[in-house]
Chains A and B, each alone.
Chain A
């Protein structure tokens, strides 16, 4: 069956370090992979989208990689700040659907 896995345990890192979050998937052939940020009590907010033919995408301190062989995406936040503390969701879209499938998210806590 199709599955998207994100680490359910919170990731705690010190300010200034690089945070790396993982999204693994099975039995999918994704056309796009997206990352969203969700703060408590709020809706998810889009961060980055990477297509199947792209290996890496950057936006300011954010970097996403997409390895269709390993069936994995890594999401990096460099020079992390306490304001980066939130839950980060990955989402996949396959070629033959109009829908996104979301992972359960990983909570990131950046402490000073």
Chain B
């Protein structure tokens, strides 16, 4: 039982490049979330999903897209990376919603 896993762990991008962050959970949770964490800003919700095939915007969705084609996977895409997207990205899952969230280990992204 791996819980929530994220790939990659670390990535360096140049401005304008694209990439996809993968989140996988093996707890059969309906709800999945993508956050970014920046110094002094705390965890901010980017996008979330309430079930397979559904996605919704969070607090800071601009510049990101997501997909939830399979219940266990939640993908976060950056189409054209910007230095402002340098951050640590965390994925989480939960069921029921609003209760315990299980977090992945994070992806550290540096955009030059």
A residues near B, CB below 8 A? 8, 31-32, 34, 41-46, 49, 89, 91, 93, 97-105
Contacts and interface: CB of A to CB of B under 8 A. Distances in A.
Contacts, number: 58
Given A98-B48, A99-B58, A46 B41 contact: no
Contact of B98 (A43, A45, A98, A104): A98
A44 B97 CA distance: 17
Contacts of A42: 105-106
Interface of B: 4, 31, 33, 35, 40-45, 48, 50, 58, 90, 92, 97-106
B45 A99 contact: yes
B94 to A, nearest CB: 8
A78 B106 CA distance: 30
A107 B29 CA distance: 30
